[in-house]
Chain A
Amino acid sequence: MGTFVQQVFNGLTVGGIYALIALGYTMVYGVMRLINFAHGDLCILGAFVGLTLLTGTAASGQPGALVLLLAFAVAIVVIAAAGVVLELVAYRPLRKADRLSAVVSALGASLLIENSIMLIWGPNVHVFPAGLLPDVIWHVAGATITFVQVMIIFASVALMAALYYFVHHTLFGTAIRAVAIDQDAARLMGINVNRIIMTVFIVGPALGAIGGLFIGVYYRQAYFTMGWTYGLYAFIAAILGGIGNIPGAMIGGVLLGLFNAFAAGYLSSSWQDAITFGLLIAILLVRPTGLLGEPVAENA
């Protein structure tokens, strides 16, 4: 029993992180039909920006929580700005071009960000300072849960709820959904499509920066190639949930985390990825558009 509960918490923690990152993929795909391959690297850039602030201020004697809040705030602002620059430089000029050109541009942007991180911070594994958060451990039904895990799970749920409310219950969110359905019709209705796309490139990377910094705070480790690994997992989570669908990305992320935990914990640790991805293929065979994806007719 304790082992089962422990595995659920193990899965939920990484699942929450995958979900936060997956939202960026799914939102961009929703409005632009583009896989933003640079998204994973943006998230890790967020982790590095946060790390710089944490190491810079950790010695200042300020309380850990305050330092951490500041790190999150700065990472969110910087990565949101980077998202806007990315859209303006790498994607906007190609909006009318062949879809493949935008994909190549996305891959190029991914490499550019990854290598910039390497040049700025160096190629080594970076370690986050210890002791920023209270060292509290709870024992629940035979499982141990740390403060960081609880923080990640709660913050992920709260952020996703807020995003869901924003997209489904505000006028701006309605405009985002309208652009996702049909850009031209949305434009005819007086919606500023460029502004909507810009918003998506602010909100997605901002959430990704939080996810990236969660990785750093939870594992206390960051290196420049990490964006690819986490980006791939989050991308798969987005596909699993139905790419373009926001609740789908959330569910996909959490399920992927749980799948992985149960595959490693109960079946075989050497086959954990093969089992996880085998399960994904099985789900996609039954529901080709993902769990919450709706059948889409390709535009001519």
Chain B
Amino acid sequence: MTNRLTIGAAAALALLAGPAGAASILIGVQAPTTGTYADEGQGIEKAVKLLAEQQNAKGGLLGQKIEVKVCDDEGKAPQAAICARQLVNDKVIAVIGSYTSGCALAAQPIYAAANVIQTSDGTSDKLLEKGYKTWFGNAAPNSAEAEFTGEYLVKVRGFKNIAVLTDHSAFATGLADAVIAAIKANNGNVIEKAFVNEGSQNFTPVLTKLKAMNPDVLYYSGYYSDGGLIKAQMQQLGMNAVFVGGDANQNVQFAKIAGPAAAGSIIINVPAPQYLPYPAAKQFVTDYEKKYGAVPPSVFTLTNADGMRAVLEAIEKTNSTDPDKLMDYMHNLKEFQGLTGPFRWSGRGERIGSPFVAFEVQADGSDKILYPKQN
């Protein structure tokens, strides 16, 4: 009797263990695939799936297939924490995403506790504060972007009166504060810092207030869905200030939302995917377009793809899926050849090395790089 039970239990265990034995390498995607930032979230999901597919076509890694698990965090912090727990329970070894800093921030301690690699385009400097070794930011932090922005606005363009507008998100307020500090460091003049409510659409009251202050330039640190609308409403109000947007305004939707008002907007970021000079980037954009019928929505699709590529490279080079070995490998990379340019990670997971540019949206929706001057 006892024997039979033992055999039964063993058989049951073997059955349970069965699928795990033939396991694949699990990579998680945490991204807002629905909601206001859906196209960014879907971009991340599509990029990671494309890379997994390409790797599997080459026979996978360590003799196993790469499998992608996706969780939709809706761009909301509480949902991001739920996603993080879910992906940890699914036993992923690394998570790509999320798009917003707020969501990456909410998920960060959960991945850190579970020793799961997290690579996101979140640029809020708050993401670096705790110094989690599981954190690998795949876009340069706000402080680096702010430095470039302050210099560009004050030194390069010589703007005298600068108004700064932000939403209430962790990312945008952080960037706005960093930009204000950088403008002041360059002896520039910030005449006002004002706020909009994300997604509220009704920005004319605050823009009317800013218009009365006669700024030369309005710098907006929030996201493209609001940024495009702000540019359109500036035109509606007859506001002549130059619109300069932070990195999250770089999205194919920006020009569509701003409509005829889009032309002349300046956005500061690494170049949009189609303007990246690197052959690997061109190849990736071509593959992406071929598979999905559209170009990636923004450069953050590619920075997250870089996060995925770094994880895959680490698995291949260390011949292991042990998270500690992978993290060591990634931290010690001297220069990772990213689609978005060569970069490396500091000990606290800060991306070092990002070729920022200021580009102007043209009437036909294309971008023209204004600074630094291109050959």
Which residues of A does B touch, CB under 8 Å? Answer: 2-3, 6-7, 10-11, 13-14, 118, 122-125, 127, 130-131, 137, 144, 146, 215, 219-221, 223, 225-226, 229, 260-266, 269-270, 272-273
Contact = CB atoms under 8 A, between A and B. Distances in A.
A265 B237 contact: no
A175 B232 CA distance: 46
Given A265-B208, A269-B209, A127 B257 contact: yes
A192 to B, nearest CB: 41
B253 A10 contact: no
Nearest to A135: B260
Contacts of A264: 205-206, 209
Interface string B259-274: 1100000000000000
B256 interface: yes
A3 B205 contact: no
Contacts of B253: 124-125, 127
13 contacts: A7-B208, A14-B202, A123-B35, A123-B42, A124-B38, A125-B39, A125-B225, A130-B260, A137-B236, A269-B195, A269-B209, A272-B195, A272-B205
Contact of A3 (B42, B194, B196, B208): B208
Contacts of B206: 264-265, 269, 272
Given A10-B204, A269-B194, A269-B209, A137 B238 contact: yes
Contacts of B201: 215, 219, 221
Nearest to B173: A270
Nearest to A261: B205
A219 B197 contact: no
B36 interface: yes
Contacts of B59: none
Q: For this complex, into which size category does the number of interface residues on chain B fall?
A: 35 or more
A162 B34 CA distance: 39
Contacts of B168: 270
B88 interface: no
Contacts, number: 96
B56 to A, nearest CB: 27
Given A144-B236, A223-B36, A229 B205 contact: no
A207 B17 CA distance: 60
Contacts of A260: 202, 205
User: Which 9 A-B residue pairs are closest in the complex by CB-CB distance?
Assistant: A264-B205, A123-B34, A123-B38, A270-B195, A130-B259, A261-B205, A10-B204, A269-B206, A269-B194
Contacts of B228: 221
Nearest to B204: A10
Contacts of B208: 3, 6-7, 10, 261, 265
B342 interface: no
Contacts of B257: 125, 127, 220-221
A11 B212 CA distance: 17
B229 interface: yes
A273 B35 CA distance: 22
A118 B34 contact: yes
A188 B77 CA distance: 54
A225 B196 contact: no
Given A14-B202, A225-B36, 11 more contacts: A10-B205, A123-B42, A130-B260, A131-B260, A220-B257, A221-B225, A229-B200, A265-B208, A270-B168, A272-B195, A272-B206
Given A123-B33, A223-B36, A266 B209 contact: yes
B205 A221 contact: no
B199 interface: yes
Nearest to A262: B205
A123 B42 CA distance: 10
Contacts of B229: 219-221
Nearest to B261: A130
Interface string B226-248: 00110010001110000000000
A273 B198 CA distance: 12
A123 to B, nearest CB: 4
A118 to B, nearest CB: 6
A129 to B, nearest CB: 9
A120 B257 CA distance: 21
Contacts of B38: 122-125
A63 to B, nearest CB: 18
Nearest to B196: A269
A262 B205 CA distance: 7
Interface string B27-41: 000000111101100
A3 B201 CA distance: 20
Residue of A2, A6, A11 contacting most chain B CB atoms (<10 Å): A6
A97 B256 CA distance: 48
Nearest to B201: A219
Nearest to B232: A220
A280 B42 CA distance: 40
